[in-house]
A and B are shown apart, each in its own frame.
Chain A
Amino acid sequence: MPVGFKLRALQTAAAAAYGAAVDASASVAPAPARNLHRFANPGRFLRLSGKVLPYLAAAALAVSAVGLWWGLFRAPADWQQGDAVRIMYVHVPAAWLASLGYLGLAVCAVLSLVWRHPLADLAAAEIGPVGAGFTALCLATGSLWGKPMWGAWWVWDARLTSMLVLFFLYLGHIALIRAFDDPQRGYRAAAILALVGVVDLPIIKFSVDWWNTLHQPDSITLTGAPTMYVGMLYPLAVCALGFTLGFAAIVVARLRAAVMERRIRALLMARAQEGRMTEGRMTDGRMTDGRAAGAS
């Protein structure tokens, strides 16, 4: 078998990272874990997230629905912008979550590089596409607002440019983390990219204060009263909460799928190894059938 060598290498890697998970599925009590590593166990993550996810998803849908209905239909129109102001109820939460998602990538990167947290790598791989989606939503809605209000779909000012750079950082991360045959190398490279890219976050945040930009400065600041009417501020807050819950729910669901996928792969590897040792007459296709399903 030409794949034999690669198979064994992969299996070693998978077993190293997910051996604990396979053990946990046999309900072996894990060794007393130290603070951080308590949450590093994929088996425990699956159990906990399985309970939380339905509530998280329901809350995300309900809160987003209320927020969007409030913002799009009930909130007052702006005295200058008219109804175009309603784009804000999608644009602003999407922008916040684009930055927050990237901060999440950076936190995963530190957990991965320093503590070799096995879930952090998987989480980084799953946060990336979601964050990129929210960044794209932010850029698209901003463009739709910009044309009627500013008179331009796009301008190269510091806020818009730094946000576009964030989008490219996400795309680079998505590509890099999947670019290697050995997943561990991809995780390492992507973690470094995530940490380098975190420099962009303060630039995005303060671009409107440091430089002349066409983009307006923040309406909601820590120091002053919000320069936004409360009738607009409340639906924005509800939308932001709903979108945040939605972001979390999507990431948790994807992460669960990724953990289970890894488990199945590890089990299949073990079966394949077993079959090879007994000079198995079975083909790969048959092996995947009964045993893997029974084991999961």
Chain B
Amino acid sequence: MSRPVMTRKRRRLILVLTCLAGLGGAAGLTLSAFSDNMVFFVAPSDFATKAPKPGHSFRMGGLVEAGSLQRATVDGKPVARFRVTDGGATVNVQYGGILPDLFREGQGIVALGTLRPDGSFLASEVLAKHDETYMPKDVADALKKSGHWNPAEGPPPPASTWNTLEVGRADAAKADAGKRAGG
């Protein structure tokens, strides 16, 4: 193990690590500086500070409030009115067009559109946001039946309470629902 070879290798290693650390630091600083501009959507609570003036379009996101969805047909086109909330503030949304399959009350959505002078939001595009929950239908039904989850009200209960739930047979689901309702 000759000394000069080791030194050269070590010097190259230190050089590479230093460059990486510098690069990482620079990237981190850049991202934190731009973090305010990197939001894909603005929550209703942040409208006062972050939303552009009425007439300028931006993306707005939140949960569709339970019981707020009204569908109508105007001149043969579907029009949906609903409220979007982030827990703090709520905004009225109007959208003319076809809603995506995942759209429902309690679902997270991202809408592109403009604020109107009266504070309501006129959407030109509505995207449904899927959360990180992956649940078979029978499990979802069991949770709904047992009263542990109303999808319109918000996200499901903690994953550990359902991700191994055995509901292969209908009677098992009933027994489980009974047990949970009783307990």
What chain A residues lie within 8 Å of B130 (beta carbons)? 80-81, 149-150, 216
**Contact assessment for A217 and B39 in the assembled complex, using a CB-CB cutoff below 8 Å:** no
B139's partner among A150, A198, A229 (CB-CB below 8 A) is: A229
The yes or no answer to B69 lying at the interface (CB within 8 A) is no
Complex Cα–Cα for A291 and B16 (A): 43
A residues 198-222 in Cβ contact with B at 8 Å: 198-199, 203, 210-214, 216-219
B residues 1-17 in Cβ contact with A at 8 Å: 1, 9, 12-13, 16
The yes or no answer to A122 lying at the interface (CB within 8 A) is no
B19's partner among A195, A218, A228 (CB-CB below 8 A) is: A195
What chain A residues lie within 8 Å of B129 (beta carbons)? 150, 214, 216
With known contacts A110-B16, A212-B41, A212-B61, A79–B132 Cβ distance under 8 A: no
Chain B interface mostly: mixed
| Per-position 1/0 for B157-183, Cβ under 8 A of A | 011101111000000000000000000
**Contact assessment for A149 and B139 in the assembled complex, using a CB-CB cutoff below 8 Å:** no
How many A-B residue pairs have C-beta atoms within 8 angstroms? Tell me: 132
With known contacts A80-B130, A113-B12, A213–B40 Cβ distance under 8 A: yes
The yes or no answer to A85 lying at the interface (CB within 8 A) is yes
**Contact assessment for B127 and A214 in the assembled complex, using a CB-CB cutoff below 8 Å:** yes
The yes or no answer to B52 lying at the interface (CB within 8 A) is no
Complex Cα–Cα for A292 and B104 (A): 69
The yes or no answer to B118 lying at the interface (CB within 8 A) is no
B134's partner among A155, A157, A232 (CB-CB below 8 A) is: A232
**Contact assessment for A115 and B9 in the assembled complex, using a CB-CB cutoff below 8 Å:** yes
The yes or no answer to B110 lying at the interface (CB within 8 A) is yes
| Per-position 1/0 for A107-122, Cβ under 8 A of B | 0001001110000000
What residue of chain A has the Cβ atom nearest to residue B12's Cβ? A114
**Contact assessment for B31 and A203 in the assembled complex, using a CB-CB cutoff below 8 Å:** yes
**Contact assessment for A225 and B160 in the assembled complex, using a CB-CB cutoff below 8 Å:** yes
With known contacts A157-B40, A212-B41, A214-B127, A229–B61 Cβ distance under 8 A: no
With known contacts A34-B1, A79-B136, A113-B12, A211–B40 Cβ distance under 8 A: yes
CB distance from A42 to the nearest CB of B (A): 20
Complex Cα–Cα for A226 and B39 (A): 26
**Contact assessment for A229 and B134 in the assembled complex, using a CB-CB cutoff below 8 Å:** yes
A228's partner among B31, B110, B140, B163 (CB-CB below 8 A) is: B163
Complex Cα–Cα for A148 and B35 (A): 30
CB pairs A–B below 8 angstroms (30 shown): A81-B102, A81-B130, A85-B134, A88-B134, A113-B16, A114-B12, A114-B16, A149-B100, A149-B102, A150-B102, A152-B125, A155-B40, A195-B19, A195-B23, A214-B40, A218-B132, A219-B133, A224-B159, A225-B160, A226-B159, A226-B163, A227-B132, A227-B134, A227-B163, A228-B133, A228-B134, A228-B163, A229-B134, A229-B165, A230-B164
Q: A156-B40, A225-B158, A229-B136 are in contact. List 7 more A-B contacts (CB 8 A).
A: A79-B137, A79-B139, A114-B13, A149-B101, A216-B130, A218-B132, A227-B156
Closest 3 CB pairs of A and B: A151-B100, A76-B136, A79-B140
